[in-house]
Amino acid sequence: MTWILFLEQSLNGLQFGLMLFLLASGLTLVFGIMDMINLAHGALYMVGAFLAAWLTQLTQSFMLGILLAIPLTAIFGMVMESTLLRTLYARDHMSQVLATFALILIINEAVRMIWGTDMPLAAPAALSGPVELLPGLFYPSYRLLIIGVGLVLAGLLYLLVTRTRVGAWVRAGASNREMAMAMGIHIQRLFTLVFGLGAALCAVAGALLGPLLAVQVGMGESVLILAFVVIVIGGIGSIWGAFVGSLLVGFVDTFGRTLMPALFREIFPPQVASAAGPAVASILVYLLMAVVLFIRPQGLFAKR
Amino acid sequence: MKNFRLACLLAASLAAFGTGSLAQTATKVKIGLVSTLSGPNGAIGEDIRDAFNLAIKLNDGKLGGLPVEVVIGDDQFKADVGKQLFERMVKRDKVDFMTGVVFSNIMLAGLPEAVNEKIFYISPNAAPSPLAGKDCNPYFFVASWPNDAYHEMAGQHATSRGFKTAYLMAPNYQAGKDSLAGFKRFYKGKVVNEVYTKLGQLDYSAELAEIRAAKPDAMYVFLPGGMGVNFIKQFVAAGLNKDTRLLLPGFGADQDISRGVGDVMLGMNDTAHWALDINNASNKKFVAEFEMAYKRLPTVYAAQGYDTALIFDAAIRGVKGNINDKDAMRKALREVKFDSVRGDFKFNTNHYPIQNYYLREVKKDAQGRLVNVLASNQPIMANHGDAYVQECSMR
Amino acid sequence: MRNGPSPASAIPAPASWPLWLALIVAAVCLGLWMHSQGLGYYLSMLSRMMIYGLAACSLNLILGYGGLVSFGHAAYMGLGAYTVGILITEGVPNGWLGFALAMAISALMALVIGAISLRTKGVYFIMITLAFAQMLFYLVNSIKAYGGDEGLNIKLRSEFGLGIVLKNDLHFFLLVLVCLVISLVFMQVLMRSRMGRVVLAQRDDDIRTEALGYPVYRYQLALFVIAGAFGGLAGALMVNQQNYVNPNLMHWTQSGVLMIMVILGGVGTLAGGLWGALLLLTLEDLIAELTPHFPFYVGWVLLAVVLLAPKGLSGLPDLWRNRRTPAAKQETQP
């Protein structure tokens, strides 16, 4: 593997990891503070992507499309939280799993009924070519934008959680909800806010990834599992854990997809290698999770 | 609980009345059409369905003189759903013929349901190589082209254009394997790498990085539908189209793809058995009627769907409506003569087509739309069959 | 936060044998009648629903009785199906051997997965079971020799001798019925035994049960293995019914479908999974004809059941009885 290839794959891993982080951070906060398993988180990502695609078509501007999709998705998330999900906080995990699974079915079909099974979303023409970062290293400019946005949002989220009062409430709620309530924090409002924030982050990820992956019904399910793997690795309730976990998963998955088949080709005969290589690559992430759970069952940076 | 059981009993009996008369009548034809009508690859199935229905409509709702009922099902790109649809249409709806499937893996799952009940299946697209050779079946006919064909032509073209190195990529399923095998059969240069991606994969960043490191002269990819749109966009976004020539099989550059990708496709070459501007009366009528009815230009898939209907028409007429005589039906199909939109067409002994293949190019038409038209009237190969016909026991 | 439904659905009541016997006789009569009327297709569909019912009941063992939310249960169904499918493809159509091996392999895999997963709790348990299921899914997908993601077509069904010809819809239906009845009887006996009591106790409070001296982990593992074995049996029947199997049968969303069946029919009841399967699949066939948006309606029904009628179909009589007095539906344990 040449240095150029290594750098390019690293950037790919970073891009993938940052997008996962946007999803995982919302998920870990919801889980950490409200102790609720929300399987419908992936559906919010899908709704964000569809709204962005639709609004981009309406306004003929990618920028406007994303910027409008974010608050709309956040509102949708907050409405969902204050009507349906609130009744689930007191329920057991199984009920939460089932109810949010039902929500996935409903939201998937609703999106299909409104917009059809998929929608085109194209990156702005200015970003459809590569940029030469180093001599010989070309990288698609659009992916660089994603990395940029991802890093900025990660930074802002960090500042929000560690430097603001709202962030302090969030951390308090994640550590000990009853105590936080006893200390006078408006827990209901905080929940709704956190949910809305999570939905907004999902929308950013969905809109940004739309041009690369297809905007289609069911796009949330595959990332949902990875997001859960990330928060299990990183530790529930920890934003820092979600960040580390996302990057870990991003790199392992990207390098796994290319290194594993190559490695297998060296060791095994071609028949075995062409089947086993990609197979091992796809389960690498789960093996990683199993190893982490074995060493540290609460995840790397668990809050409690 | 018991009430529930009674309810089931009631439902079953009501349904029994709905299955209709069991008597056989050859006063109409029922054709089951299972295709991928939703999802990122839904455009393909819709083209087949729309063209098939168009042919019937232009024929006053009849095929071979008999009124037609088309039963449509969406396999949702899932093999098990497709198989269940086949089972339902053959066993419950009692269709006379089946057709429609886009993807080989779905068709291979559903086909036994039809042929085991002696129902003829005419494929408007999927045509995997095992069924051309050792697994050939008296009830299976192909109205499109053998899965290898476009790729063989591309390999031939790459050789004659002097591309010394080639990088190959296809999804990891039967048609994908056939495609790259076909390319290599006629390509005489050096294959740098042969990569099989996951069926349905949409993000090719990792693969593109590898391609850049390998620096091949030419790149051949078989990625139908949504996969193709994404790959081409990402290929261009990575700046790889400057140093590496991208060669595509016909459907990889057709209307549905160029609509999704955009102007960067201008000048790209591909190989196919049909093009919008093939010069015969049937094709001119087809293209004009299709555009008028559906407000879009047809793709190769549509052309194949249309021809499938024409084959049914000619064959049913050949048995004079006596569709239940399976041997007569087979003979009529094997010897079918009709005005195909692609020009010359005839079935080989393995029920796969023998036809011409052309080089095409993406250009802009008079209205500024991206269209895929003949690069040259000379076919790359004429009257070409397939490499597996000798392995088939049918003669 | 404890997992599991309300403690009200405790030890299963002694089976009302007359009722069950009547149901079995009715089922056999139904099968005979449908076969004689040439409704082979519908009989085949009914068999398919019952196979899913068996799979759902096996999930109910760990989900309803055990209180363990496993998203990986479909994997056992898939393993059972592939075992029989591969054996038939390799020229070993013996049903006795195939089915026994299917159950054994599923049980073994459940032992391995359970041994590791049951050491975790709560969402970690859910995630680990899901991860294992996905690992199996990807591994099976990569075995090209047996179809990979194109799936495996099998040309003939299992052979049992004794004059049983599974290609005959009626014979197949009766085989499914026999398997279903035997399985449910086994589950009933199990849950009324001491093991059943311990399982229910740990569902409601595993710490207290452990404190009372019962090795909770061992009981959970045993239950997990038994549930896996019955899942494998369902899979063996399924590959015969469809003459086909593909890795999607093992996907985590399939586990979700099984869960829906359990919930609809009544979680924590013996045959809840069966009723849920019959209801869901019948609705699916009926509504799918009318609208392609079937999952939308299923979603709302499921949501309603979870929020308003947590005991599903089995709980409807109670709901009707209590309709004047708003019952407290959630536990409020911290």
Say if CB C232 and CB C80 are below 8 A apart.
yes
* Interface subset of B 87-146, CB within 8 angstroms of C: 87-88, 91-92, 104-105, 108-109, 112
**Stretch C257-263: mean pLDDT:** 90
From residue A122, give the alpha-carbon distance in Å to each of A207, A208, B185. Answer: 10, 10, 37
In chain C, residues with a C-beta closer than 8 Å to the C-beta of A95 are 306, 310
Residue A149 lies in a domain: yes
Whether residue C123 and residue A109 make contact (CB cut-off 8 A), yes or no, is no
Lowest mean pLDDT among A172-176, B379-383, C133-137, C317-321: C317-321
C54-64 pLDDT, tens digit each = 999 999 999 98
The whole domain housing C48 covers 17-251
By Cβ distance, the residue of B172, B207, B237 closest to A128 is: B237
Q: Is B79 on the interface with C (CB under 8 A)?
A: yes
Higher pLDDT pick, C140 / C54: C54
Domain ranges of chain B: 27-145+279-355, 149-272
* Interface subset of B 157-186, CB within 8 angstroms of C: 172-174
pLDDT at C10: 57
CB within 8 Å of A168: residues ≥ 6 apart: none
CB within 8 Å of B205: residues ≥ 6 apart: A12, A15, A16, A140, A143, A212, A254, B234
By Cβ distance, the residue of B80, B88, B172 closest to C248 is: B80
| Same fold for the pair B27-145+279-355 and B149-272 | yes
- Mutation target among B17, B88, B172, B196 for the C interface, most CBs of C within 10 A: B172
**Which residues partner with C158 through β-bridges?**
none
Residue A132 lies in a domain: no
B245-282 pLDDT, tens digit each = 888 888 778 777 777 777 878 888 888 999 999 999 99
C276-301 pLDDT, tens digit each = 999 999 988 888 777 778 888 888 88
pLDDT at B183: 92
Structural domains in chain C (count):
1
Higher pLDDT pick, C149 / C74: C74
Residue A225 lies in a domain: yes
Residue A127 lies in a domain: no
Residue in chain B closest to C292 (alpha carbons) equals: B74
Task: Report the 10 Å Cβ neighbour count for B333.
Answer: 22
Say if CB A29 and CB A174 are below 8 A apart.
yes
pLDDT at A133: 82
Residue in chain B closest to A209 (alpha carbons) equals: B203
By Cβ distance, the residue of C37, C40, C244 closest to B83 is: C244
Residue linked to tokens 């796009």? A219
Structural domains in chain A (count):
1
Say if CB B8 and CB C23 are below 8 A apart.
no
Supply B59's token pair. 């024929």
CA distance linking residue B370 with residue B363, whole number of Å: 6
Q: Which fold has domain B149-272?
A: Rossmann fold (3.40.50)
pLDDT at C73: 94
Q: How confident is the model at residue C8 (pLDDT cuts 50, 70, 90)?
A: very low
pLDDT at A91: 83
pLDDT at C87: 94
Residue in chain B closest to A129 (alpha carbons) equals: B237
Residue C179 lies in a domain: yes
Whether residue C302 and residue A101 make contact (CB cut-off 8 A), yes or no, is yes
Whether residue C69 and residue A93 make contact (CB cut-off 8 A), yes or no, is yes
Chains B, C: CB contacts under 8 A, how many? Answer: 77
pLDDT at B166: 92
Residue A8 lies in a domain: no
Whether residue C150 and residue B2 make contact (CB cut-off 8 A), yes or no, is no
Residue C303 lies in a domain: no
**Stretch C139-150: mean pLDDT:** 78
The whole domain housing A84 covers 14-122+140-295
The alpha carbon of residue C299 is apart from the nearest alpha carbon of chain B, in Å, by: 19
In chain B, residues with a C-beta closer than 8 Å to the C-beta of C278 are 4, 8
Helices (H), B295-372: 300-318, 326-334
Residue A129 lies in a domain: no
**Whose CA is closest to C171, among C28, C39, C24?**
C28
Counted residue by residue, chain A has a size of 304
**Stretch C161-166: mean pLDDT:** 84
Q: Residue B218 is inside which H or E element, if any?
A: strand B218-221
DSSP state of C64: I
pLDDT at C7: 44
Q: How far is CA A111 from the centre of its chain?
A: 20
Say if CB A186 and CB A15 are below 8 A apart.
no
Q: What is the pLDDT along chain A (304 residues), one digit of tens a residue?
A: 678 888 888 999 999 999 999 999 989 888 888 788 888 999 999 999 999 999 998 998 889 999 999 999 999 999 999 888 888 888 888 888 889 989 998 999 999 889 877 787 877 877 777 888 887 788 888 899 999 999 999 999 989 888 888 888 877 777 777 777 787 777 788 888 889 999 999 999 999 998 888 788 888 887 888 898 899 899 888 888 999 999 999 998 888 877 777 777 778 776 666 667 767 777 888 888 888 877 887 788 876 5
Q: A133, exposed or middle or buried, with CB in 10 Å at 0-12, 13-18, 19+?
A: middle
In chain C, residues with a C-beta closer than 8 Å to the C-beta of A236 are 123
pLDDT at C233: 96
User: Can you give the pTM of this predicted structure?
Assistant: 0.83
CA distance linking residue A134 with residue A128, whole number of Å: 19
* Whether residue C324 has pLDDT greater than 60: no
Whether residue C292 and residue B74 make contact (CB cut-off 8 A), yes or no, is yes
* Interface subset of C 169-228, CB within 8 angstroms of A: none
Supply B152's token pair. 């063989």
> Chains contacting A with at least 3 CB pairs below 8 Å?
B, C
Return the CATH number at A165: 1.10.3470
Q: Is C164 on the interface with A (CB under 8 A)?
A: no
> Chains contacting C with at least 3 CB pairs below 8 Å?
A, B
Residue A95 lies in a domain: yes
Q: A25, exposed or middle or buried, with CB in 10 Å at 0-12, 13-18, 19+?
A: buried
* Interface subset of C 96-135, CB within 8 angstroms of A: 116, 119-120, 122-124, 126-128, 130-132, 134-135
**Stretch C233-259: mean pLDDT:** 91
Whether residue A106 and residue C303 make contact (CB cut-off 8 A), yes or no, is yes
pLDDT at B22: 36
- Mutation target among B10, B22, B36, B83 for the C interface, most CBs of C within 10 A: B83
CB within 8 Å of B308: residues ≥ 6 apart: B48, B52, B99, B122, B123, B124, B143
Q: What is the pLDDT along chain B (395 residues), one digit of tens a residue?
A: 445 554 444 444 444 444 443 334 478 999 999 999 887 788 899 999 999 999 999 999 999 999 999 999 999 888 888 998 999 999 989 999 999 999 988 999 899 999 999 999 999 999 988 899 999 999 999 999 988 888 998 898 889 888 999 999 988 777 788 888 899 999 999 998 888 887 777 788 888 988 988 889 999 999 887 788 888 888 888 888 888 888 888 877 877 777 777 787 888 888 899 999 999 999 999 999 999 999 989 999 999 999 999 999 999 999 998 889 999 999 999 999 999 999 889 999 999 999 999 889 988 888 888 888 888 888 888 899 988 999 999 88
Whether residue C42 and residue B12 make contact (CB cut-off 8 A), yes or no, is yes
The listed CATH number (3.40.50.880, 3.10.20.70, 3.40.50.2300, 3.30.1330.10) that belongs to domain B27-145+279-355: 3.40.50.2300
By Cβ distance, the residue of C69, C128, C138 closest to A282 is: C138
Whether residue C134 and residue A225 make contact (CB cut-off 8 A), yes or no, is yes
CA distance linking residue C193 with residue C190, whole number of Å: 5
In chain A, residues with a C-beta closer than 8 Å to the C-beta of B203 are 212-213
pLDDT at B198: 76
**Whose CA is closest to C28, among C20, B48, A134?**
C20
DSSP per-residue string spanning A271-289: HHHHHHHHHHHHHHHHHHH
**Whose CA is closest to C24, among B14, B12, B2, B8?**
B2
pLDDT at C318: 67
Q: How confident is the model at residue C272 (pLDDT cuts 50, 70, 90)?
A: confident
CB within 8 Å of B159: residues ≥ 6 apart: B186, B187, B188, B189
Residue C301 lies in a domain: no
pLDDT at B352: 94
Residue in chain C closest to A116 (alpha carbons) equals: C293
CA distance linking residue B88 with residue B106, whole number of Å: 15
Say if CB B174 and CB B108 are below 8 A apart.
yes
C171-216 pLDDT, tens digit each = 999 999 999 999 999 999 998 888 888 888 888 887 888 888 888 8
CA distance linking residue B272 with residue B224, whole number of Å: 14
